Structure 1
Amino acid sequence: MTSAVPRFSVIVPVFKVQGFLRECLDSVLEQSYRDIEVIAVDDCSPDGCGAILDEYAARDPRVRVLHLPENVGLGRARNAGMPHATGDFLFFLDSDDTLTPGALRALADRLDETSDPDVLVFDYARTYWWGGTRRNALAHVLAEAADSTFTVAERPEILDLLMVVWNKVYRRDFVHKHGFEFPPGYYEDTPWTFPVLLSADRIATLDRICLNYRQRRQGNILSTTSRRHFDIHDQYERVFAFLSGRPEPASWQSYLHAKMGEHCLDILSKPDRLPPRDKAEFFRRTAELFRAHRPEGVAVAPELRVLEGSYAAYRAKRQAGRAGRELGRRAGQLRRAAGVRLTRGRTAPTGRRSLDPDLVLYSASSHQGVLGDPGAIYRKAREIAPQLRGVWVVRDEEAAALLPPDVEHVLLDSPQYRQVAARATYFVNNVNWPGGLAKRPGSVHIHTHQGTPLKYMGADLLERPGARHGFDVPQMLRRADRWDHSLVANLHSELVWERAYPCHFASARTGSPRNDVLVNARTESGRTGHGKAVRERLGIPAGHTVVLYAPTRRDYRRGGHVDRVDLARFAEDLGAGHTLVVRLHPSLATGPARGLGLAELHRRGVLVDATDDPHVEDVMLASDVLVTDYSAVMFDYADLDRPIVVHADDRGAYTASRGTYFDITAQAPGHVSRSYRELAWLLASGTWQDEESARLRAGFRARYCEFDDGHAAERVVRTLLLGEEMPRPATARVPAPAVGHDLLARS
């Protein structure tokens, strides 16, 4: 229910955006948080915007429309809306941008948490017309300031953020007290942002993407070629006038003097901002402003000294810089080409170095460290075959720093890497080795894969053009030609890999080495031992039921991330005595996905974000039930014999885009939900752990964990590295299902 005084007054100035306006308004009005009013200002838009606004106002009482008699520009349109605002906080939203789902609830919660600061700064992502998304590069500034409220003097780095009005909400009483308003002009956000932040006694941050900043194909108004860019000088004059009238912020004169110089030179350097005939005048005006406001006794930064000279000198320096960069680019291309030739030469078999029969080269997850199946094989080899020398390939110094001190390693493409690659007999990896690594006669390549396949892989991706975006399938197959052994945990995997990678390897029915720890944790001692330690490390209260939510990426959405579940609602619906642990797909760990609420919910203790935990096996051991969709993690989790819920609310879209080898809803390892309501009911009612769940899980485990017996790592070491005999795992075969495996049936 909306209160008498709404929490937010969302002011939306509107001009010539009829193609984007509905999406903008829907993103606000369809938020789960409804304590808002929307003040839409029709800035005498000549298109259909006014009619669209009237339509929304007619059906939603929270929307109020102001039709201005003449076009006044963005800043003054915002001013027109402010006197009509009654909310606690002002939110200025541009009419072609959109709020992310759950944004207003997150903002309201953060305002409550910080006791209504003067300004709350939140994060945003640029969304491009071609579908790409890129998070604000300075998001770390928001995360580092999350502990408490502050002033600009205490955290001056807050001024390094983009000088815009729409990445903040403002306490209305604070704005009225200081009489802040937007001036006319092209760069109206500049003389608003600096005075507001410098005047605020309490600033708070929210490390969450709350707004999608639309990047239009033809750019925004500030990227057009026009003399209007001269407005930047007038706007900085207003900022300096503000400083001169307030003794305390005057200490910021030096900072803003440099900021002004950088900002103006940035505009001048862009080829599409100023007409060529106007650039000399723009430089002269900038230099005059720079001299007029230069603080006494302050040294000028080297990059700004061009403003102390002539425009001709500036142009000469720019041209010299471009020429230098071009030479550097060409030299870099030559060095890289020479490096490729050198690498190929050094990694090619020379016949002069004999293979070392005890040297094993390991890598996992694109050279990230001692992980997955290769990590389990390495640890077992150190235990039962200490004569084997195991060396890890890591991608960079950062990954090397995370290794235990007693792990021998080399950096990828280093001379040391080339030396051990030329001598190693055994190569163990869960993804392909670089293309430049030539397989020598007598060497043995063991490919462990990264789990049991549900979605299409390898050559089968040729049937899914969208899913293979970014994949070079022929190159994948050329690299797979080096495999000698392909580890499998079940007959399904054996059939899939032999179809998806039509190469000359032999399938090794060893089981999955990384899952030994899961198989051996089925006993009560395993649950209370390692799992208890992991819970303590993750900060999970003793006695809590731990729900692990592990969704996979979506190939039908650029970037791969789709919010299928409202995580805050999910954690709340689980209720007291439960902890929600979330682990995103590794490919989403560094993208914008965590900024859309996950990181902030983790900081507030609403849930635990375990995406960065290097060992997924540890996270599984700490949980009581797995909720997933189409992630291969379910095949591993079944080894634990703990309940699994499959949330398949978009199975049609997923299978159409990526393709699956069988219908997971027909051969599920537990109950299936097809809507969030069903998912919440399964967990609230206790159905997730009933007898039917156990029956489904037993059948699934017998089919897809048939070679996992807790001795997979030992079996690999003894049979494939040492050449010893070891019994194959006992299997509990079940009849092939009557449904699914359509693709395999056609092979």
Structure 2
Amino acid sequence: MPRFSIIVPVFKVQGYLRECLDSVLTQSYPDFEVVAVDDRSPDGCGAILDEYAARDERVRVLHLPENVGLGRARNAGLEQARGDYVLFLDSDDFYTPGLLAAVADRLKSAEDPDILVFDHVRTHWWGRGGPSDASALLAAAGQDVFSLRESPQYVHLFLVAWNKAYRRDFFQEHGLRYAPGLYEDAPVTYRSMVLAERIACLNRIGVEYRQRRQGAITKTPGRKHFDIFPQYEGLFAFLEEREDLAWARPLLFERAMDHMLYVIAREDRVTPSDRAAFHREIRAFHRRHCPEGFTPPEGPRGTEMRLLASSPYASYAALRGARGVRRLAGAGKRRVAAKVSASAQSAWYAAHSRLPLDPHLVVYSSTHHAGVSGDPAAIHAKAREIAPQLRGVWVVREESVADVPPGIDFVTPGSRRYHTVMARAKYWVNNVNWPGSLVKRPGQVHVQTHQGTPLKYMGADLLGKPGARHGFSVPKMLHRADRWDLSLVANRHSELVWERAYPCHFTSLRTGSPRNDVLVDAPADRGAAVRARLGIPAGDTVVLYAPTRREYRRGGHVDRIDLARFAADLGPGHTLVVRLHPSLASGTARGLGLADLHGRGVLVDATDEPHVEELMLASDALVTDYSALMFDYANLDRPIVVHADDWGAYAASRGAYFDITAEAPGHVSRSYRELAWLFASGTWRDEEAAGLRAAFRERFCEFDDGRAAERVVRQVLLGDSAGEGAAVSIPRAADGSARLPQYS
């Protein structure tokens, strides 16, 4: 029998689940079991759990036949528990190192109490928070063991399941179970605390309590928050049956009132239209269960409790409103200016959104309106081919207008027609974000294609990399990403990263990358045509060199190799083609010799080529460092060499989701000497390179089958259930915006 049973209910947290499980399984104290309950999760959580169970016998997985919610999922796990103590851990949170050893030691010193309470810290999406409100109480408890009747101040400990270790026999003896619905923690926490004869505390942070930017159902406005009333009704029905617990009624009544008043005041929980009804429910609960002689606490919350006994909702609203006015009055000019700006934006939106949406209008943009390229271009081309009824309009900035292909309709940002198109288009397709000034109307669908598979940190993951995010605001970026409805992915790695890096409401679609269709199904002569256009001699072996930018160097460019030397060392019959990162195209990098080398015919500078796919088709091998281009190139099944002479500096400054030098798509060079040798010896295309490439392709080209663009057009733009796979259904809220079932 293990010392601990750790019950982990799981639902739609695939972006966080591995971190949660790893935090448990890497604990220094080994005597535990994990009972993971897959609550019919619609994403990849079930497979992740099975993977962990297959490699660690301490993990047992229970797959529920239907979704039952957090409380009943915990109950199901409890039925399978065998440990002396039961701990609950939410699957988007994680343990701090050494927690279980500390819990085991404290339980031993306290001689196995009924409940042990430990501390937590809130981990916000922008960084770690400060100490919890319980820290002082836990510190004051020291090594004492007490009951709540003796020490009623401990009723203020955080009323959740996951900051406690419960003696399993105690939990079973008293029939403690979680009820369905929100706020299920409250009745079990309070009931167990009043029943426990021996409670101990551990003044140690044990759980990183993740404050998800979006997705927590407790922070999603709606009628579900009325669940708080049956939860507390159940608790007080129990209390009123137990005369021996009469002492606890005033204590828990105050906590119930405080909790309900806290909920009604939160704009992210109770909507304004429901607030009066919610207040009536609080007053009804107050009438039914207020203990005789109850004295409200001092302060504003006590005033609100007094009003419940004698005044209607209008009095409460006036009190809360007066506080809001005082807060606003002290906010300063900055907040006032922000409100004026928001009002102006709302007025603009109202003026341009009076006409109905055009169901056949699709607006496209790529790389900050740089031109017609990437995934949006592939989707547009396929739509013109198979759905001519759809009208595509591109947003292209002024300096790129000359490069727009003939026959492509376009608008320039800020123009009058631009505003009309953005307001009326049914579909927005982009590989970056639209400007924050645009407000997506209800019913519009934002398709986010991204710009490839992520190796380097993106989105919210950049919060810990201040150098990498210098010059832009992560919160503003995520605010723009809130408009996404659909996120296209080429592999499961990308799916997990995007859901974690962009904690917003969207649906991931395993479509593959549309721009890679050409790499899968390209005509055999297309690469030759590109070579001829670039002036590459027929029969040459073409090596494409595509470095990425460096955040640790001002300007972003670092010369990692001597290009002239590399071109010479490749020898006769070889052509070196250089493609700088798009962000460096107009920078100083070309002034460091690239333009001169191109002019002298030493190499081909292809940085300005609008379609990088054509350069890939024209090449025989890719040399890169950490560019996402390698994930696309792998579709060609041609050799890739990773030149990683500064991997440590790059990973430290930008951050990376995995070590590309350990999981490379081919051979890795750590110096120019190694790079030159790989080509001189022929090693760059040996059997080992082919094996590494095959494993890499299997992992990262999973959904690229040459039909990604068609899949997007048929299933998203046309809603064609007759196409390959089922049509995409976008769950929507009452306002028409995309919403997904969430779980906390």
Q: TM-score under structure 1 normalisation?
A: 0.51
CA distance in 1, matches of 2:587, 2:725: 42
Aligned counterpart for 1:367 among listed residues 355, 366, 369: 369
Contact persistence 2:547–2:625 (CA under 8 A): yes
Contact persistence 2:353–2:424 (CA under 8 A): no
1:533 aligned to 2:529? yes
Aligned counterpart for 1:651 among listed residues 647, 652, 655: 647
Q: Give the deviation of 1:368 after TM superposition.
A: 1.3
| Per-residue Cα deviation, 1:395-447 (whole angstroms, up to 9, x for no partner) | 11x31221122111111010000011111000000010011110100000000
- Corresponding residue for 1:356? 358
CA distance in 2, matches of 1:624, 1:345: 55
SS in 2 for 1:390: strand
CA distance in 2, matches of 1:686, 1:349: 65
Change (3 A) 1:442 1:349: farther
1:727 aligned to 2:740? no
Residue 431 of structure 2 aligns with an amino acid whose one-letter code is N
1:704 aligned to 2:700? yes
- Corresponding residue for 2:472? 471
CA distance in 2, matches of 1:494, 1:632: 15
CA distance in 2, matches of 1:612, 1:350: 36
Residue 365 of structure 1 aligns with an amino acid whose one-letter code is T
Change (3 A) 1:619 1:351: closer
Q: Give the deviation of 1:695 after TM superposition.
A: 0.7
- Corresponding residue for 2:511? 510
Give the 5 Å matches for 1:366-385. 366-385=368-387
- Corresponding residue for 1:66? none
Give the 5 Å matches for 1:285-364. 345-348=347-350, 352-364=354-366
Q: Give the deviation of 1:352 after TM superposition.
A: 2.1
Aligned counterpart for 2:621 among listed residues 619, 622, 625: 625
| Per-residue Cα deviation, 1:90-128 (whole angstroms, up to 9, x for no partner) | xxxxxxxxxxxxxxxxxxxxxxxxxxxxxxxxxxxxxxx
SS in 1 for 2:664: coil
Contact persistence 2:491–2:512 (CA under 8 A): yes
Q: Give the deviation of 1:520 after TM superposition.
A: 1.1
- Corresponding residue for 2:497? 496
Aligned counterpart for 2:396 among listed residues 349, 373, 394: 394
Residue 652 of structure 1 aligns with an amino acid whose one-letter code is G
Aligned counterpart for 1:552 among listed residues 539, 548, 551: 548
Change (3 A) 1:350 1:539: closer
- Corresponding residue for 2:712? 716
- Corresponding residue for 1:576? 572
Aligned counterpart for 1:665 among listed residues 648, 652, 661: 661
- Corresponding residue for 2:260? none
Give the 5 Å matches for 1:144-183. none
CA distance in 1, matches of 2:346, 2:380: 28
Q: Give the deviation of 1:666 after TM superposition.
A: 0.9
- Corresponding residue for 1:640? 636
CA distance in 2, matches of 1:465, 1:604: 40
CA distance in 1, matches of 2:349, 2:451: 26
- Corresponding residue for 2:453? 452
Residue 564 of structure 1 aligns with an amino acid whose one-letter code is R
CA distance in 1, matches of 2:484, 2:347: 22
Contact persistence 1:349–1:422 (CA under 8 A): no
SS in 2 for 1:627: strand
Residue 606 of structure 1 aligns with an amino acid whose one-letter code is V
1:425 aligned to 2:421? no
Give the 5 Å matches for 1:594-609. 594-609=590-605
Residue 532 of structure 2 aligns with an amino acid whose one-letter code is E
- Corresponding residue for 1:171? none
Contact persistence 1:513–1:712 (CA under 8 A): yes
Contact persistence 1:643–1:694 (CA under 8 A): yes
Residue 485 of structure 2 aligns with an amino acid whose one-letter code is D
CA distance in 1, matches of 2:406, 2:658: 44
Q: Give the deviation of 1:620 after TM superposition.
A: 0.6
Change (3 A) 1:348 1:670: farther
CA distance in 1, matches of 2:515, 2:348: 33
CA distance in 2, matches of 1:563, 1:352: 53
Aligned counterpart for 1:690 among listed residues 686, 689, 710: 686
CA distance in 2, matches of 1:507, 1:543: 43
Runs in 1 of length 4+ with deviation above 3 angstroms? Answer: 337-345, 347-351, 726-729
CA distance in 1, matches of 2:485, 2:473: 21
SS in 1 for 2:359: strand
CA distance in 2, matches of 1:600, 1:513: 35
1:585 aligned to 2:578? no
Contact persistence 1:347–1:421 (CA under 8 A): no
Identity %: 74
CA distance in 1, matches of 2:447, 2:614: 24
Contact persistence 2:352–2:419 (CA under 8 A): no
Change (3 A) 1:593 1:717: same
CA distance in 2, matches of 1:351, 1:613: 38
Contact persistence 2:353–2:423 (CA under 8 A): no
SS in 1 for 2:447: strand
SS in 1 for 2:539: coil
CA distance in 1, matches of 2:346, 2:668: 50
Residue 685 of structure 1 aligns with an amino acid whose one-letter code is S
- Corresponding residue for 1:61? none
- Corresponding residue for 1:134? none
CA distance in 2, matches of 1:685, 1:378: 44
Q: Provide the aligned length of Structure 1 versus Structure 2.
A: 388
Q: Give the deviation of 1:346 after TM superposition.
A: 2.8
Q: Give the deviation of 1:338 after TM superposition.
A: 11
CA distance in 2, matches of 1:354, 1:493: 35
CA distance in 2, matches of 1:573, 1:623: 18
SS in 2 for 1:465: coil
Residue 377 of structure 1 aligns with an amino acid whose one-letter code is I
Q: Give the deviation of 1:369 after TM superposition.
A: 1.4
Q: TM-score under structure 2 normalisation?
A: 0.51
Residue 601 of structure 1 aligns with an amino acid whose one-letter code is L
Q: Give the deviation of 1:341 after TM superposition.
A: 7.9
SS in 1 for 2:696: helix
CA distance in 2, matches of 1:406, 1:635: 31
CA distance in 1, matches of 2:353, 2:535: 55
Residue 371 of structure 1 aligns with an amino acid whose one-letter code is S
Contact persistence 1:410–1:416 (CA under 8 A): yes
CA distance in 2, matches of 1:594, 1:357: 45
| Per-residue Cα deviation, 1:688-736 (whole angstroms, up to 9, x for no partner) | 111111111111001001000000000000001000133359xxxxxxx
CA distance in 1, matches of 2:406, 2:689: 44
Q: Give the deviation of 1:339 after TM superposition.
A: 11
SS in 2 for 1:438: coil
Contact persistence 2:372–2:404 (CA under 8 A): yes
Residue 615 of structure 2 aligns with an amino acid whose one-letter code is V
Q: Give the deviation of 1:350 after TM superposition.
A: 6.1
